[in-house]
Amino acid sequence: MKKTNFIPNGRFYKGNIHCHSTRSDGCLPPKGVVEAYRGKGYHFIAFTEHNLYSDFSEFNGDDFITIQSVEASPAMPDGEIRAYHFIALPGGQELIRKASLPMYRHGDETPGEPFSSFDDLQDFIDNFHNRGYMVMINHPFWSRIEYEQILPLKNLFALEIYNFCSGITENMAESNVCYDALLRNDMRLWCVAVDDNHNMFPLSGARRDSFGGFIQVKAESLCEGDICDAIARGSFYSSTGPEIHDFYLDGSTVHFSCSPAARIYISGDVRQVLSAVAEDSEHLLTGLEGKISGYEKYVRAECYDANGKKAYTNPIFLSGGEDV
């Protein structure tokens, strides 16, 4: 029996769901951000201004859309080095249908009450969840948040596994260790690569923080509802460059296919499950398949291209954990 996160129909759409403009601490106006990403072949972005809800559907067209969203964060006590940042996106249809509170509107300020306990933090997340939003925790490496400080939280759907801005500015791009620790401890989360762009440097320069981390969402169409439904169910992969074509389990056999790669790893909660390394640049890999033990809680894949750029699948869960 085939098991996969990708929906059977539709196509892949490229997007960045962590993005700032002059409405908060970004340096490009919203229209400039839209033009830049559309020009690079993206299909969608989410404007995630700090504690300020944005709906820029005025920029939507047949080949590019924006998704209403916000980056929300509680105020942290003086001297606290941790920083809990969350992105809220419209959830799937079922989550929106069950919402007990209204959704925010463009220009609304979202709550930023002081953080003093995990109960406060859970109330903060639940405020968005109860309005029909799916909530992602951002850049835990940059935020100095350990996995034990995320594990008690409920109603999260994803974690930023890669944050391009944090990598360019402070060498804190990747949160693999935190992510896998949460998965091993039965927390079911998707993983997301983002830019978190503020565009303080030229888009053509080496220090730019755009176009470095993105997701490819397999959705039925390019509209907010279909894109968000697909994200909610995990029908996407994350990347800094390589393409992933497919990832699925057929019984105990795992199948992975991608653009030409120098290395491919399929892992779970029991160390590496499978791996392959190209001998040289003339014999790059386009896939990997093999048997798993069947005792894994989950399996997920990562691949590197010849330039060291990386792509990540979402995990396929086999047993245990809580529902996404």
**Mean pLDDT per 10-residue section of the chain, whose length is 324 residues:** 94 98 98 98 98 98 98 91 96 94 97 86 96 98 96 98 97 97 97 98 96 98 98 98 98 97 95 90 96 92 98 89 36
CB proximity list for 207: less than 8 A, separation 6 or greater: 168, 200, 201
Whether 2-240 shares its CATH topology with 241-324 is answered no
Residue 152: burial class (beta carbons within 10 Å; 0-12, 13-18, 19+): exposed
Residue 184: burial class (beta carbons within 10 Å; 0-12, 13-18, 19+): middle
pLDDT at 324: 35
pLDDT at 321: 36
The DSSP bridge pattern shows strands 11-19 and 214-219 to be antiparallel
Domain borders along the chain are 2-240, 241-324
pLDDT at 271: 77
CB proximity list for 34: less than 8 A, separation 6 or greater: 45, 56, 59, 64, 66
CB proximity list for 248: less than 8 A, separation 6 or greater: 2, 3, 4, 6, 254, 255, 316
Provide the 3-class DSSP secondary structure of residue 104. coil
pLDDT at 260: 98
Tokens of 226: 């279909």
Q: Is the pTM of this model over 0.85?
A: yes
Superfamily of domain 241-324: Immunoglobulins (2.60.40.10)
Contact 195, 212 (CB under 8 A): yes
pLDDT at 32: 98
The DSSP bridge pattern shows strands 158-163 and 133-137 to be parallel
Tokens 């005025």 -> residue:
58
pLDDT at 79: 87
Helix-, strand-, coil-residue percentages of the chain, each rounded to 5: 20, 35, 45
Name the CATH architecture for the domain at 2-240.
Alpha-Beta Barrel (3.20)
Query: What DSSP string runs through 180-207?
Result: HHHHHTT---EEEEE--B---S-TTSTT
Helix intervals (H) in the chain: 30-39, 93-97, 118-129, 140-143, 164-170, 176-184, 224-233
